[in-house]
Structure 1
Amino acid sequence: MTTRKIVVSALVSALAGGTQLAQATDVFRLEGFGAISRGMGGTAVAHDVGPAGMMTNPATLSLMPDGDQAMIGLDLVTTDIKVTNKATGESVSSDTHSNNRGPYVAPEAAFTKRIGAWSLGVGAFAQGGLGTEYGNGSFLSRATGGLATGLDNSSRLLVLNIPFAASFQVNDKLTVGGSVDAMWQGLNLDLLLGADQVVSLIGANRATGSLVGVLAGIPGLSGAHFSLTKDKFLASGVDAWGYGGKLGMLYKATQDTTLGASYTLKSQMNDMEGGATLTAVTAGGQIPLTGKIKIQDFQMPSHLDLGISHRLTPQWTVAADVSRVFWKDVMKDIKVAFVADAGGDLNILLPQDYKDQTILSLGAAYALNDSLTLRGGLRFASQALRSSTLFAVIPATPRKHLSAGFTYAFSKQAKLDFAYSHAFKETMDNTSLPNTSAPIEVTHAQNNATLNFRYSF
Structure 2
Amino acid sequence: MTTRKIVVMAVASALAGGTQMAQATDVFRLEGYGAISRAMGGTAVAHDVGPAGMMTNPATLSLMADGDQAMVGLDLVTTDITVRNKTTGETVSSDTHSNNRGPYVAPEAAFTKRVGALSFGVGAFAQGGLGTEYGNGSFLSSANGGLASGLENSSRLLVLNIPFAASYQATDKLTIGGSLDAMWQGLNLDLLLGTDQVLDLIGSGRATGGLVPVLGGMLPALKGAHFSLTKDKFLASGVDAWGYGGKLGMLYKATPETTLGASYTFKSQMNDMEGDATLTAVTTGGNVALNGKIKIQDFQMPAHIDLGVSQRLGSQWLVTADISRVFWKDVMKDIKVNFVHDGGLGDINILLPQDNKDQTILSLGTAYQLNDSLTLRGGLRFASQALRSSTLFAVIPATPRKHLSAGLTYTLSKQAKLDFAYSHAFKETMDNTSLPNTSPPIEVSHSQNNATLNFRYSF
TM-score, normalized by the shorter chain, greater than 0.5:
yes
Aligned counterparts of 1:93 and 1:305: Cα–Cα separation in 2: 35
Q: Which residue of 2 aligns with 1:182?
A: 182
Matched, 1:83 2:86: no
Aligned counterparts of 2:236 and 2:186: Cα–Cα separation in 1: 8
CA apart distance, 1:67: 0.5
Write out per-residue CA displacement over residues 47-72 of structure 1, whole angstroms, 9 at most, x where no aligned residue: 00000000000000000011100000
Q: Which residue of 1 aligns with 2:161?
A: 161
| 117-126 or 3-12, larger mean C-alpha shift | 3-12
CA apart distance, 1:17: 3.1
| 216-225 or 32-41, larger mean C-alpha shift | 216-225
Give matches, 1:183-332, under 5 Å: 183-219=183-219, 220-332=221-333
Contact map agreement 1:18 1:234 (CA 8 A) in 2: no
Aligned counterparts of 1:260 and 1:31: Cα–Cα separation in 2: 18
Contact map agreement 1:318 1:364 (CA 8 A) in 2: yes
Contact map agreement 1:11 1:71 (CA 8 A) in 2: no
What amino acid maps onto 2:94 in structure 1?
S
CA apart distance, 1:16: 5.5
Task: Quickly say closer, same or farther: Cα 1:7–1:227, change in 2 above 3 A.
Answer: closer
Aligned counterparts of 1:447 and 1:107: Cα–Cα separation in 2: 16
* Residue of structure 1 aligned with 2:455, choices 444, 453, 456: 453
Aligned counterparts of 1:93 and 1:164: Cα–Cα separation in 2: 39
Q: Which residue of 2 aligns with 1:110?
A: 110
Task: Quickly say closer, same or farther: Cα 1:4–1:118, change in 2 above 3 A.
Answer: closer
Task: Quickly say closer, same or farther: Cα 1:122–1:203, change in 2 above 3 A.
Answer: same
Aligned counterparts of 1:449 and 1:298: Cα–Cα separation in 2: 28
Q: Which runs of 4+ in 1 moved over 2 A?
A: 2-19
Aligned counterparts of 1:167 and 1:419: Cα–Cα separation in 2: 26
Task: Quickly say closer, same or farther: Cα 1:332–1:8, change in 2 above 3 A.
Answer: closer
Aligned counterparts of 2:70 and 2:120: Cα–Cα separation in 1: 12
Q: Which residue of 1 aligns with 2:413?
A: 411
TM-score, normalised by the number of residues in structure 2: 0.97
Aligned counterparts of 2:29 and 2:383: Cα–Cα separation in 1: 12
SS in 2 for 1:126: strand
Write out per-residue CA displacement over residues 283-305 of structure 1, whole angstroms, 9 at most, x where no aligned residue: 11111000000000000000000
Aligned counterparts of 1:411 and 1:97: Cα–Cα separation in 2: 42
Task: Quickly say closer, same or farther: Cα 1:161–1:10, change in 2 above 3 A.
Answer: closer
State the identity as a percent.
Answer: 83
TM-score, normalised by the number of residues in structure 1: 0.98
- The RMSD of aligned alpha carbons is 1.5
| 16-25 or 127-136, larger mean C-alpha shift | 16-25
Q: Which residue of 2 aligns with 1:397?
A: 399
Aligned counterparts of 2:202 and 2:192: Cα–Cα separation in 1: 16
Give matches, 1:84-99, under 5 Å: 84-99=84-99
CA apart distance, 1:116: 1.9
CA apart distance, 1:3: 12
Contact map agreement 2:14 2:106 (CA 8 A) in 1: no
Aligned counterparts of 2:53 and 2:161: Cα–Cα separation in 1: 13
SS in 2 for 1:229: coil
CA apart distance, 1:313: 1.1
What amino acid maps onto 1:135 in structure 2?
G
Contact map agreement 2:14 2:160 (CA 8 A) in 1: no
CA apart distance, 1:323: 0.1
What amino acid maps onto 1:401 in structure 2?
H
SS in 2 for 1:388: helix
Matched, 1:66 2:87: no
Structure 1 portions without partners, runs of 5+: none
Aligned counterparts of 1:367 and 1:403: Cα–Cα separation in 2: 17
Aligned counterparts of 1:68 and 1:401: Cα–Cα separation in 2: 33
Task: Quickly say closer, same or farther: Cα 1:12–1:304, change in 2 above 3 A.
Answer: closer
Write out per-residue CA displacement over residues 102-143 of structure 1, whole angstroms, 9 at most, x where no aligned residue: 000000000000122100000000000000000000000000
CA apart distance, 1:234: 3.0
What amino acid maps onto 1:341 in structure 2?
D
